[in-house]
A and B are shown apart, each in its own frame.
Chain A
């Protein structure tokens, strides 16, 4: 390894092997799982791999007595709903655990309600309790921008932010804070809380999924639930994704999961209505085109076509 040659002499003669360290830690498995189970998200994966590489090198440096302050690991995840922020946060916790930067590797997901109290003196104990629960793991604050409400100057959110800041700075080795939310609102939030923005080292942006990626995701979800699509249903699903993506309130993978849940519902109904007829294992597993085509999305699209002059 190249590092071995550039080490100061007091580090000892033995060569250091990054490869061995990488294989010995479970981080390889965690990163592979990230690659395998998350579709798309290339910029995110690249960033996660970079962070993992940094931590691995840092670990090696420490093992030979090279001084460095523990790296700041607080992160911000921005992106539209359903782009996998929570899932990646969970994977991040696993990676940090594998690298020894998190002692327990659990993820506590909270929102404003869990941190901010309802009356004076309620916020501090509430926030501290959540922080204590998250110690040794990762604290994931979803829709973090709700913490700060500039329109109400007596809002207790500011108090929660201050406590958070203090812990993020002083107990850096005890917990990692991940703030998540929509991109533009998070930017405004960081703009009005410069103290918070400066303590977050990694800003990761989650891109929207392409239709092809959404289809791959739905296949992965169905495989996880032990369903499969018939050939016609696969075509229908591709059409569905294209139509749904154009409609308002599209929440990426979450919308797809909901669509699949509804298709399961219709499949169950279809099977139930023709009860008495013999059923195969195959039939129980298969989602037909009709189950998907009954969706409101297709009806709305057809309606739209008719409305057009």
Chain B
């Protein structure tokens, strides 16, 4: 099951040229770019691990692409996303965030039902991959 999280996630995976163009768009607006990765995808898991520091004052996407390539090399089978942070007053938040790398196969999510007090039932989702220990999930 394809993870759909962030912008463009219902489109086919972006090529590197398309990613570069998106980053150029962000840089043209003066947004700071950061690269993050995780092997624990979940709709509520928005805080992924940072790969290096956020990059400020860049003029060209080449720097981000190099960083992204390094991240893919370090964590080949994991999810990687690019975030663009807008620091202008009034926004001060992410303006764009999109997945740029995903594992080859994504087993998807299982629905868990939990019996509560009385006859109440609660639902949650859990990634099948997350049943395995960290670092061995998408090998």
Q: Taking beta carbons and an 8 Å cutoff, which residues of A are in contact with B? A: 103-104, 106, 125, 129, 131-133, 135-137, 171, 174-175
Which B51-67 residues have a C-beta within 8 angstroms of A?
52-53, 55, 57-64, 66-67
Task: Find chain A residues with CB under 8 A from B64 CB.
Answer: 132
Q: Are B59 and A129 neighbours in the complex by a CB distance under 8 Å? A: no
Cross-chain pairs A/B with CB under 8 angstroms, 25 sampled: A103-B60, A103-B62, A104-B59, A104-B60, A106-B59, A129-B53, A131-B63, A132-B55, A132-B58, A132-B62, A132-B63, A132-B64, A132-B66, A132-B67, A133-B58, A133-B59, A133-B63, A135-B60, A136-B59, A136-B60, A136-B61, A137-B60, A171-B62, A174-B60, A174-B62
A11 to chain B minimum Cβ distance, whole angstroms, is 27
Task: Find chain B residues with CB under 8 A from A135 CB.
Answer: 58-63, 66
Task: Find chain B residues with CB under 8 A from A137 CB.
Answer: 59-60
B52, B53, B66: residue with the most chain A Cβ atoms closer than 10 Å: B66
Docked CA distance A125–B67 (Å): 11
B46 to chain A minimum Cβ distance, whole angstroms, is 25
Q: Are A125 and B52 neighbours in the complex by a CB distance under 8 Å? A: yes
Task: Find chain B residues with CB under 8 A from A132 CB.
Answer: 55, 58, 62-64, 66-67
Task: Find chain B residues with CB under 8 A from A125 CB.
Answer: 52-53
Task: Find chain B residues with CB under 8 A from A175 CB.
Answer: 62
B20 to chain A minimum Cβ distance, whole angstroms, is 11
